[in-house]
Homo-oligomer: A and B are copies of this chain.
Amino acid sequence: MPRYVPASSMESPRFTGPSTFARLPYVQTLEDVDLAVVGVPFDTGVTYRVGGRFGPNAVRAASVMLRPYNPNLEVAPFELLSCVDAGDVAIVPGYTQRSYTAIEHHVAPIVEAGVVPLLIGGDHACTLPHLRATRSRGPVAVIDFDSHTDAWDSYFDERYNHGTWMRRAIEEGLVDTAHSIEVGLRGSLYGAADWTSLTDELGLAYLTTEQVLAMTAEQVAGAIRARVGDRPAFISFDIDVVDPAFAPGTGTPEPGGLSSHEALAIVRRLTGIDFVGFDVVEVIPAYDPAGQTAFLAANLAYEMLSLVALRRRDRS
């Protein structure tokens, strides 16, 4: 068995003790660790609703409901992977550049140790330093589930926030654009080029929500897998790709999105990919009175770590 495993909910109720992700041990070491869940309570990058700083702990609280066996992927991830809750990055609220540095310095050693980081945001701006932290793995294929492109050049003449990280990451050479894809785009735009320039200018592929909803989950996953190929890959999951009915607790809600089932069904079919990192972002508990957004985020993270476990099993 792996060194680090969740506390058993048959022995102590799920609600006992300070909540860690999936009731995993809260440790700071990387030794004997395969996957590390890291909270990134950064929300200075948002342009509308704010409060993602409380996202990591809300997702932790919901994640205590996770059980050890994933029936869809037929894998018991915690028997295959040593997983830990590595706590939160000590970001600096109100200060983006210093927070970016803190995030990168926290996560890069994880990646360099061969451990897979799974970040819980926090707003989407934190994906830029997350990608910087994966630099040792070369430009990565980014699979961005999102209703927004996040590829604008600036907001209010500022280049660093939750709407520009993708463009910055590409400019910094962190993204293997030819193998990257945005999934779930929808909502009103500043102009038609918001979408078309993703391909024309940046070299990304994309699927709109309309396209996703016209396909099966298998088809969507197939399209993503074809795009990514065998490159080291990274999933960034902005919870707002899901409809506000399923994920009300977010900052820039766009009605007309995927259901939780559709989102989970796509993510869990992304088997066979070499993942070097994940994040689930834009959960804002202040707008999530019944907790459904946090429960969904926890389950998405569980599918992600199951994909890592599955690949490890299938390759061994």
User: A residues engaging B (CB < 8 A)?
Assistant: 9-20, 26, 39, 41, 43-51, 53-54, 57, 60-61, 65-72, 74, 76, 85, 87-96, 98, 155-156, 158, 160-161, 186-192, 194-195, 208-210, 213, 243-246, 248-249, 252-257, 259-261, 264-265, 286-292, 295-296, 299, 302
Contact = CB atoms under 8 A, between A and B. Distances in A.
B13 A90 contact: yes
Contacts of A18: 18-20, 26, 57, 60, 85, 87
Given A50-B53, A261-B243, A156 B210 contact: no
Given A72-B210, A244-B260, A253-B295, 5 more contacts: A15-B41, A18-B26, A18-B85, A66-B188, A259-B259
Given A291-B253, A292-B244, A189 B67 contact: yes
A186 B71 CA distance: 8
A259 B286 contact: no
Given A53-B50, A69-B194, A286-B51, A248 B13 contact: no
Contacts of A54: 15
Contacts of A46: 93-94
A192 B69 contact: yes
A248 B292 contact: yes
Contacts of A17: 26, 39, 87-88
Nearest to A148: B67
B16 A90 contact: yes
Given A10-B156, A16-B41, A94-B44, A296 B255 contact: yes
Contacts of A50: 43, 50-51, 53, 93
A15 to B, nearest CB: 5
Which are the 6 A-B pairs with shortest beta-carbon distances?
Answer: A248-B290, A12-B90, A16-B88, A244-B292, A67-B188, A286-B286
Chain copies in the assembled complex:
6
Nearest to A61: B57
Most buried by B among A47, A51, A210: A47
A interface SS class: loop
A87 to B, nearest CB: 4
A161 B95 CA distance: 10
Most buried by B among A191, A192, A259, A290: A290
B260 A68 contact: no
9 contacts: A9-B47, A12-B90, A13-B41, A15-B54, A18-B18, A43-B50, A69-B191, A94-B96, A94-B158
A191 B74 CA distance: 9
Contact of A92 (B98, B158, B187): B158
A162 to B, nearest CB: 9
Contacts of A43: 50
Given A16-B88, A41-B13, A188-B68, A259 B243 contact: yes
Given A13-B41, A16-B88, A68 B256 contact: no
